[in-house]
Chain A
């Protein structure tokens, strides 16, 4: 049996002799226990701080990769006659797997946006009759003509694809600053 030690302080601050039997057998120094738990929590917070730093470095890396990709290529996406007014067409731009939407809003006007909602990347659906692009996941809406968020959780506009019409063909010619 361990002898009473003046350095060991029980949680209730009572003398060693008044402690229950189990605590006499396994005495725990309460202040030291508190000290260690705070020190270990501080260690956890430092590790968390390191994780945030890694996250920042990851954003820098993504930024560099985005710049390294350079200008988006010119890509033939549709013919003018292919879409009726209010019609839409899906295409991948600037690379495969990066879905975008081309919408004919009037006889002579086309718009194109990245299809990923800027909230949680659900695909948006064109609703030309309401002049909106709708995200069914969380009921978000974007303006069809500008890509600006109108309703729901999205706060950033959809990335707009620059278009150029040459003869009867519509070309995607770049991505305006945005998510893609």
Chain B
């Protein structure tokens, strides 16, 4: 189904679902950030870069979902 075909009543559950997923991803990023900071301050730098890449992937997912959300309004 094309995005433009969704009715207003159909868009509401979509935006709620996207909001839930985006929130869960943001909380995961928060956990990743605090864990990485804790490890860095403790002198363990082995997963600083992988954690940053994982956070980048999370941001990409969020941006993709938000892009989809904006497309709903067009």
List A residues at the B interface (Cβ < 8 Å): 31-32, 34-35, 38-39, 41-43, 45-46, 48-50, 52-53, 55-57, 59-60, 62-63, 66-67, 118, 156, 159, 176-179
Contacts and interface: CB of A to CB of B under 8 A. Distances in A.
A42 B52 contact: no
A59 B37 CA distance: 7
Interface string B14-46: 011011001101100110110011101111110
- Sort A-B residue pairs by CB-CB distance and give the 6 closest, nearest first: A177-B43, A52-B29, A56-B52, A56-B55, A49-B62, A53-B59
B29 to A, nearest CB: 4
Given A49-B25, A56-B36, A60-B52, A42 B18 contact: yes
Contacts of B58: 49, 52-53
A60 B11 CA distance: 39
Nearest to B39: A59
Given A35-B15, A46-B65, A60-B52, 4 more contacts: A52-B29, A62-B40, A63-B45, A159-B43
Contacts of A32: 8
Contacts of B8: 31-32, 35
Contacts of B43: 159, 176-179
Contacts of A177: 42-44
Contacts of B65: 42, 46
Contacts of B15: 35, 38-39, 42
A74 B66 CA distance: 53
A60 B48 contact: yes
A169 B31 CA distance: 46
Given A31-B8, A57-B52, A45 B41 contact: no
A46 B62 contact: yes
8 contacts: A32-B8, A42-B22, A45-B23, A56-B33, A56-B52, A59-B36, A59-B51, A59-B52
Contacts of B29: 49, 52-53, 56
A45 B48 contact: no
Given A31-B8, A43-B66, A118-B41, A60 B49 contact: yes
